Structure 1
Amino acid sequence: MVVLAKRFFTMIKELTQRPYRKRIRVVHKVPIDQEWDKPVSFARIKEELSKSSDIIFRDFILRGKEDIPCSLGMVDGLVDKDLLDAYILRVIMVEAVDDPVFQEMTLKNVNDRLLDLFTPANEVKKIGRLGEAIDGMLSGDAVLFIKESQEALVISARGWSDRGVGVPQNESSIRGPKEGFNETLRTNTSLLRRKIKHPSLRLVSMKIGDLSKTDVVIAYVETIADMDVVGEVLKRLSRIRTDAVISGDMLEELIEDHPYSPFPQVSNTERPDIVAADLLEGRVAIMVDGTPSALIVPVTLPTFMQVNDDYYQRAMIVIIVRTIRYWGAAIALLAPSLYIAVTTFHQELLPTPLVLSLAANREAVPFSALGEALLMLLALEILQEGGLRLPKPIGQTIGIVGALIIGEAAVSAGLISPIMVIVIGLTAVSGYTIPYYDLAIAIRLIRLPLMILAGTMGFFGLAIGLYLSIIHLLALRSFGTPYLSPIAPLRIRAFFQDTFVRAPWWASRKIPDLVDVHDTKSGRKK
């Protein structure tokens, strides 16, 4: 019993511990990991890496004052071979042979002489640790080894194939830019640099993953961002201990404050213009190599109801569209619960003709209003999930035709009332007005317990569910920022500038203080 109790409490402790404070997916270290900080050894590196067929070592001899055996190490498919042949191998084996400086080259000064020789054409760095040489090769650089030296030169010659800058697939825009991130990290940072051409834009690089060594960049504007938030982001990322980070979505789950909350606490976007706008509001962006999107922290609930077109349309149009969007979210959350509560417990709230019409429609239905709603929502969720995983043309057909056929068949069979089909259809369409997919999923999850509470206790149960939801939202934090800011705590200027409405650009003299940022004019905190 003691052992079982100890295991139970250990399991509870692991489940309640913050994800970024514990090690996940532990892997056993290989011998080369223990030699990471040792001096460069060409023999050791070749012994370890030559087991893979895509690792290439090109051996040659530099004929200076003495013969110097060398080898150029690279990964086939990650380097630009034409660049290496034209600017590296041709230079040291053909063009520089008659150079007096080259002819005086010895084993002691070869790295310094080659460093001066390559500097005009390439980014070259001298290294002395074995781990740096392996990292350089596996990251796509070429490494020039002097076989009898404990130093090497890392030559930037990355040239793998990548997808060009294209139109974002999940965040379409009517009037805004049509460019989106791709899977190459350096391309993504260059797109961001084009938006913010100021020296205060900081791009901090780090590697995460014991095996994947995934490149991660943290971007922020130093003169605007709260450095406490930046420090917290860096601390959480540096604490992550895992074997691999394949995409940025994994980091999202590892760094959020409340991992058991259904509400998203990290924003995700494919658009460089949105990232730039968020950075200028004091937020921090996290970009991961191989992921065509960026993570944004901290975030608040109102930011998930905003889209990029809100900032390319006139303010009056944005106010109307945002109002429709918020009403759509409210209908998607409450419509089934209100229908269930009214038809089950509070018929006196409806006009008599409407009550008689509802009773006539539900006379032959064998299920309660709650049972009807649960069956229809289950069918809707199955259709949505099936349509999402199928190819796009087929998925749209399944979603529309399937819903029509199943709804009509259920009504004809007397299993579902026509009014319930209307309520669930309205709920589904209203849910599509929520622009952020993760928030839409959270609304779908919360909708189920609200329906059950409404079906068992009426408006009283619905009120309890809403109160609990609001209390949960008030307790949420995203990197220390209240989740309902600027509603709670109330920040008047931000509330009227860019929350339910968007103020005209000529009236927005300062950035909205949705998070604690530095004033761009005075440099002081607001």
Structure 2
Amino acid sequence: MRWRSFLQRNNTKNNQAENFSIELVKDLNENIKNLENLLGKPDDLVVRKFRVRGTNHRCAIAYIEGLVDTQYIRNQVMSHIQLDEDLNQIPDQKQALFETLYEEIMSATAVKKKKTLDDLSKGILSGSTIFYLDGLAEVFVISSQGWEKRQIQEPVSETLIRGPREGFVENIRTNIVLIRRYIQDPNLRFETHKVGRRSKKNLVVSYVDGVIHPDIVQEVNRRLQTIDMDDAPETGFIEQWIEDSFLSPFPQMMNTERPDKVAASLLQGKVAILLDGTPFVLIAPTTLGNSLQSPEDYYERWTVGSLLRVLRYIAAFIAVFLPAVYVALVSFHPGMIPSDLAFSIAASREGVPFTPFVEALLMSGTMELLREAGARLPKTIGQTIGIVGGLVIGDAAVRAGVVSPIMVIVVALNAIASFSLPAYSIAIAFRIILFGILILSGILGLYGIILGYIMINIHIVNLKSIGVPYSTPYAPTFYRDWMDLFVRLPITVFTKRPKYMKPMDKSSANKGDH
């Protein structure tokens, strides 16, 4: 009774998440009561007591309803214990019966022996079934996960015209299988961690041994071991905890729903971080150039991939600098604008009560509001609201004389450019920087834009991702890696892995920087 009273006191204090290394006792009923008190006697805890066929030995199973596959437990555990005639020949000795059940009777594939209450709580809360045998202070923890899960579908956030149509799901085991389908290499490694003091979620670090530099794996594991939080519901929590600089607007890790993108990154010598409960997988280290690349660059011919890559670099410049350049030229340097265009802009601005800076700030802020509204509304009307809302508000603002038509064009081009970037996280970073550059241009004109550009470059050069410079291969310069930077050369020339990753195996049959 001392164990049960101890657990009741801790349950009253709401300390269910503590680590109970309490040894089990031999009494079946006492063990079950201790488990119930530890879990707070939940309604979904199922306990089924019965006897082993042909004997007087009492036993029981316990599991959380909804977390296990009850059909699997019925067919692989209970049916053998209750119907197997070989049990009649076992001597009436509990330890011998226990070993026979483990070695000969249990047909479940994953069965472990445990002796502490802490092991039981971890197992049952993760979807395992506990098997008790009266008279023994030892149990079976049977892996029997069977909760409802989403089927494999096309990634929502990374759609492609050409390429695989399967994406990660919320089940980490399914995600591991998807990666193994792409990389059938015995050197592919999956290291499991537990994150969350209370949630104790599975986190898996994946890499290809013999390709990745060992220092990267060591550094990632070191940072993961420092995580101290109650729960990590999404990989965004992991990213924010282990990133190099929390003050930077730039994403220092890529997140993706695409198994092909993860597989290609692993073959380059990078690390993938998978978390149970989310379809988004982190890839580290990453660079600025990686953020402007898409898997589709490699699925199309190299000419098409190169054209798309160049367009993205132009779009990145437009997404950051176009409104600021317009404000600087109109407000501070009108002499740099061709005469016909200057007259046209002046005529369109006649009667507008705001300065170009205020005008650009208002329109950019309105566009951000429309984007946020479109993202939060249901899909069937979200895109419609974004497009129609932009057209209606822009037209109404021009008719009312609040903004000029040329400003509507500038902001629209800026929005289209940001939408063309393949990574949502880098597009968000550029949208944040846009307002900073806009303010500098409103104060100093082109000099402010140049100053902002210099500050961005200084920040990027000093930024790192898991110790790898974020600006590589621009600076430090690796000219060989430029073959897959501004343009994408033919696949046949990619015989080496990225030099800046310092891979242990430098040769590669093909490049896969997705």
Aligned 8 A contact 1:223 1:520 in 2: no
3-state secondary structure, aligned to 2:132 = strand
Whether 1:266 aligns to 2:253 is yes
Separation in 2, partners of 1:105, 1:341: 92
3-state secondary structure, aligned to 2:57 = strand
Alignment partner of 2:458 out of 430, 446, 471: 471
Separation in 1, partners of 2:206, 2:133: 37
Whether 1:220 aligns to 2:207 is yes
1:395 corresponds in structure 2 to 382
2:24 corresponds in structure 1 to 40
1:518 corresponds in structure 2 to 504
2:71 corresponds in structure 1 to 82
**Cα offsets for 1:307-343 (capped at 9, x unmatched):** 1111101111111111011101101111111111111
Whether 1:67 aligns to 2:56 is yes
3-state secondary structure, aligned to 1:58 = strand
3-state secondary structure, aligned to 1:215 = strand
Separation in 2, partners of 1:33, 1:422: 57
Aligned 8 A contact 1:225 1:518 in 2: yes
Please give the residue correspondences for 1:312-391 in structure 2 after superposition, counting only pairs within 5 Å: 312-391=299-378
Separation in 2, partners of 1:119, 1:311: 49
3-state secondary structure, aligned to 1:280 = helix
Alignment partner of 2:46 out of 50, 56, 64: 56
Residue 434 to residue 35, structure 1, CA distance change in 2 (3 Å)? closer
Q: TM-score, normalised by structure 1?
A: 0.90
- What amino acid sits opposite 2:413 in the alignment? L
Aligned 8 A contact 1:111 1:151 in 2: no
Greater shift, 502-511 or 271-280, is seen at 502-511
2:475 corresponds in structure 1 to 488
Greater shift, 358-367 or 134-143, is seen at 358-367
Residue 85 to residue 435, structure 1, CA distance change in 2 (3 Å)? same
Aligned 8 A contact 2:286 2:465 in 1: yes
Alignment partner of 1:157 out of 133, 140, 144: 144
2:7 corresponds in structure 1 to none
Please give the residue correspondences for 1:117-136 in structure 2 after superposition, counting only pairs within 5 Å: 117-118=104-105, 120-136=107-123
3-state secondary structure, aligned to 2:94 = coil
Structure 2 unaligned runs (5+)? 1-11, 26-30, 509-514
Separation in 2, partners of 1:201, 1:264: 26
Please give the residue correspondences for 1:226-241 in structure 2 after superposition, counting only pairs within 5 Å: 226-241=213-228
Q: TM-score, normalised by structure 2?
A: 0.92
How high is the sequence identity, in percent, across the aligned residues? 40
Residue 29 to residue 83, structure 1, CA distance change in 2 (3 Å)? same
3-state secondary structure, aligned to 1:109 = helix
Whether 1:207 aligns to 2:191 is no
Query: 1:29, CA displacement in angstroms?
Result: 8.0
1:18 corresponds in structure 2 to none
1:506 corresponds in structure 2 to 492
3-state secondary structure, aligned to 1:326 = helix
3-state secondary structure, aligned to 1:385 = helix
Greater shift, 270-279 or 448-457, is seen at 448-457
Aligned 8 A contact 2:76 2:106 in 1: no
Separation in 1, partners of 2:387, 2:340: 32
- What amino acid sits opposite 1:233 in the alignment? V
- What amino acid sits opposite 2:38 in the alignment? E
Whether 1:286 aligns to 2:270 is no
Aligned 8 A contact 2:154 2:166 in 1: yes
- What amino acid sits opposite 1:268 in the alignment? N
Alignment partner of 1:430 out of 395, 417, 422: 417
Aligned residues: 491
Aligned 8 A contact 1:281 1:513 in 2: no
Separation in 2, partners of 1:479, 1:448: 28
3-state secondary structure, aligned to 2:290 = helix
- What amino acid sits opposite 2:20 in the alignment? W
CA RMSD of aligned residues (A): 1.8
Residue 230 to residue 92, structure 1, CA distance change in 2 (3 Å)? same
Residue 55 to residue 520, structure 1, CA distance change in 2 (3 Å)? farther
Query: 1:494, CA displacement in angstroms?
Result: 0.9
1:299 corresponds in structure 2 to 286
Greater shift, 275-284 or 239-248, is seen at 239-248
Query: 1:256, CA displacement in angstroms?
Result: 0.9
Query: 1:96, CA displacement in angstroms?
Result: 3.6
Separation in 2, partners of 1:109, 1:311: 60
Query: 1:171, CA displacement in angstroms?
Result: 0.9
Residue 32 to residue 447, structure 1, CA distance change in 2 (3 Å)? closer
